[in-house]
Amino acid sequence: MNIKILNGSPRKENTAAMCEAFAEGAKEAGHDVEILHVGRMKIAGCLACEYCHGKGEGKCIQQDDMTEVIAAYKDADMVVYASPIYYFDVSAQLSAAMQRVYCIGKPPKAKKAALLLSSGSPGTTNGAIATYKDMIGYLGMEDAGICCLAGEENKKESKLAEIREMAKKL
């Protein structure tokens, strides 16, 4: 499979470690993996101008870093959403990248998805998980696994090994 990981963290720390572990496992299983660091990209929110559904014919009127993410959505057999928890939700950067899929409707090939969340405290991921489940259901993708690491669990080798195993089984 062609797997695209959208890393919504601006830092190269906890979420990045989860993404790397997932990529390692998936590559070992023979998949092609690309990590897109959307947390460091310039991606504005959707303007709801409907240019994409009219004159734009699927193209967004905003020419920012989302162009690269749209190309990845089009290519993907699987999308992995990864994010730090910011106030009980995914980061604003990942949220924008999730919502700006609007211009193409649905990723044309993606049938699977996964979610990687890093938080400071346990019990803060319900909102992000609910959004993810609704979103992938809407986009016609099947959940292939959710992993949440909180506090001390972050960067723990045994936890990263679990993510590698999860990705190996895809």
Which residues here bind ligand FMN, judged by CB under 6 A?
9, 11, 13-16, 84-88, 118-121, 124, 154
State the nearest-atom distance from the C-beta of 40 to ligand FMN, in Å. 11
Give one DSSP letter per residue of 124-155, joined into a string.
--HHHHHHHHHHHHHHT-EEEEEEEEEGGGTT
Residue 11 or 42 with smaller CB distance to ligand FMN: 11
Residue 51 or 86 with smaller CB distance to ligand FMN: 86
State the nearest-atom distance from the C-beta of 116 to ligand FMN, in Å. 10
Residue 62 or 154 with smaller CB distance to ligand FMN: 154
Q: Rounded to an integer, what distance in angstroms lies between the CA atom of residue 77 and that of residue 115?
A: 15
The enclosing H or E element of 79 equals strand 78-84
Residue 14 or 62 with smaller CB distance to ligand FMN: 14
Q: Rounded to an integer, what distance in angstroms lies between the CA atom of residue 143 and that of residue 112?
A: 6
State the nearest-atom distance from the C-beta of 57 to ligand FMN, in Å. 36
In this structure, what token pair is assigned to residue 150? 């909180």
